[in-house]
Amino acid sequence: MQLDFVKRELTIKLVYYGPALSGKTTNLQALHAAADGATRGRLMSLDTKDDRTLFFDLLPLSYVDVSGLSVRLKVFTVPGQVIHGSTRRLVVQGADGVAFIADSRVSETDANAEAFVDLKDNLAAQGIALEKMPLIIQFNKRDLPGARSVDEIAEMARKGTEPVYLATATRGDGVVESFVGLLHRTWRALDEQHALGEKFSFDGDVFVADMAKKLGQSATLSELLGRAVAGRRKLSATKIRVGGGP
C-alpha cells in the first residue's frame, strides 16, 4: 500500500497468481472489458509468441470517494511458467492482496499445487506468512472437459478459510465476483492495520460496492460476497487447497 496524505491518494496493489495458462491474463481482460471508461486505465500486457505472459500484465482502476480520497488499484498478473520464478518474486513484492487462479481440471492438480507452494515461498521470502495475506481462490476453466465438479470444489472449500469462487474467465463468468471478494478482503485487512476509514472518513463497504457497480454488477455487496464458497478451517499449503486429493 502507498499513501500520499497531501494528495489524499491511496494505491493498492493486487496480484493474480497461479500456474501457467490458468487464466490470469484472461481475468484481467474480462475486468477491463467490464469496467466503465472513467474507472479503467489502459491494460498493459507483454506476451510471448505463444500468448503466455512473459513479464506481467497491469490493469489500473481508479475511484474517487465523496470524502475526497482517491483510490488507485493496480492489478497485476505474474507469469506462470516455472522459468520465470524471479519475475514472480519481483511482481508479488508489496502485494496487498492475492487472487490465486487455479485450473479446475483434475489433470492440473499438480500444477495448481506447485504454484500455490511457490506463492507461499515467495511471500515467506518477504517475511509474510501466507495466512497473513488477504487471499481468495478462483477455480477457473469451469467449461472445459475434466473439470472438477462443483460439489468436489465446495467440499474442499469447506475445509479451508479462503473464499473460493468458480469462474469461466473467457466468458466473464465469476470474474467480477472474484475481484470484489479479493478487494473486500484486502480493504478490511488494510483498514484493520492502518485505520484508513477512520482517518479519511471513508466507508470501505461503500467503496467496494461502488467498484462492483463500476464493473457492471447490479447485485448488492452481500449478494456478491455470498457467491463464494467460504472455508471453515485452515489447512497447510497442500494439494487439497487447490484441487488435490487427501
Contacts (Cβ under 8 Å, ≥6 apart) of 127: none
Helices (H), 9-145: 24-34, 85-92, 109-124
Rounded-to-integer distance, Cα 136 and Cα 110, Å: 19
Confidence check: pLDDT of 206 > 50: yes
126: left (phi over 0), alpha (psi -120 to 50) or beta: alpha
Q: Which residues are CB-contacts of 225 (< 8 A; sequence separation ≥ 6)?
A: 163, 180, 181, 184
Q: What is the structure's pLDDT at 47? A: 60
Which pLDDT value is given to residue 58?
84
According to the model, what pLDDT value does residue 60 have? Answer: 92
pLDDT of amino acid 156? 87
Q: Cβ neighbours of residue 95 under 8 Å, at least 6 residues apart?
A: 13, 14, 15, 76, 133
What is the dihedral angle through the alpha carbons of 194, 199, 202, 207, rounded to the nearest 10 degrees? Answer: -20
Sign of the CA dihedral with 104 first, then 108, 111, and 113 last = positive
Distance CA 27, CA 59 (A): 10
Domain locations in the chain as residue ranges: 2-242
Mean pLDDT, range 216-222, rounded to an integer: 96
Give the pLDDT confidence score for residue 84 in this predicted structure. 61
What is the reported pLDDT for 80? 58
**Average model confidence (pLDDT) for the chain?**
87
Amino acid 235: pLDDT: 33
| pLDDT (tens digit per residue) in 94-106 | 999 999 999 999 9
pLDDT for the residue numbered 245: 43
Q: Which residue has the higher pLDDT, 179 or 81?
A: 179
- For the domain with range 2-242, which CATH number is right: 3.40.50.300, 3.20.20.10, 3.40.1180.10, 3.20.20.80? 3.40.50.300
CA dist list (Å): 147 to 99, 104, 142, 239: 20, 5, 6, 16
Least confident of 85-94, 112-121, 190-199, 213-222: 85-94
What is the pLDDT averaged over residues 161-187? 97
Query: Is residue 222 exposed (0-12), middle (13-18) or buried (19+ Cβ within 10 Å)?
Result: exposed
Polymer length in residues for the chain: 246
What's the pTM value of the predicted model, to 2 decimals?
Answer: 0.90
Over the stretch 54-96, which tens digit does the pLDDT of each residue have? 456 788 999 999 888 999 999 998 875 655 667 788 889 999 9
C-alpha distances (whole Å) from 58 to each of 42, 44, 72, 178, 230 are 8, 5, 12, 17, 28
